[in-house]
Amino acid sequence: MLALFAVLSLPEVALLGFFTVGAVLSYPAAAPKRADVIVVLGGDFSNGRYTRGLELLRASYSSHLVLIEPNADDRKHALANVPGVEIWDDVSPSNSWGEATVARTRMQANGWRTALVVSDPPHLLRVGYAWSSNLWGAGLSYTLISANPAWWSAWRWWANPQSSRFVGDEVLKLGYYLMRYRFGVI
């Protein structure tokens, strides 16, 4: 009887997972608080991450702004309008894990203890995993800050093609990160 109940419940569990995955991926987002540095992650083609980083800088959450591998428009704007902006183009591997690894080294070198890390909402769960793993034991902390892309809805992510692609990619990449960095299988 219990086995029959379990089998009959599988579709409901699958639907629950499908409809909540957007909220789960974006859950780590937090409200900004004062930090030593604002780090805007790379891979942003819509300028949303950079825009959010500038908002935080202008609201005095930090006096340091770092852009990791920004697109050409963001780079040009930042170099012309943001005094002291740092651009990190030498992140290796060029992914979220590499960004966290390089950030740890450079935060320590600059005496920065706290960071606001800006990315898109569905990217935050994987970013949180990478940063917590890389900053573990270093006496450094971070707060994940969500950009505010117009295309994102945590509860209706499947209704927008950009959101649905992003969520699909993030689920696959999160699985890869766990296999590669947690279990060392890949």
Instruction: Please state, in angstroms and rounded to a whole number, the distance separating the CA atoms of residues 82 and 73.
Output: 13
In the prediction, which pLDDT does 11 show?
83
Domain boundaries, the chain: 27-151
123 pLDDT tier (thresholds 50, 70, 90): very high
In the prediction, which pLDDT does 43 show?
87
Q: Per residue in 32-66, pLDDT tens? A: 999 999 999 998 777 799 999 999 999 999 999 99
In 27-144, alpha helices (H)? 48-58, 72-81, 96-110, 124-135
Query: Which residues are CB-neighbours of 31 under 8 A, at least 6 positions away?
Result: none
5 pLDDT tier (thresholds 50, 70, 90): confident
In the prediction, which pLDDT does 186 show?
85
- Which stretches does DSSP call E strand in 19-73? 37-40, 65-68
Q: Could you tell me which CATH class the domain 27-151 is placed in?
A: alpha beta
Cβ atoms of 44 and 70 within 8 Å: the answer is: yes
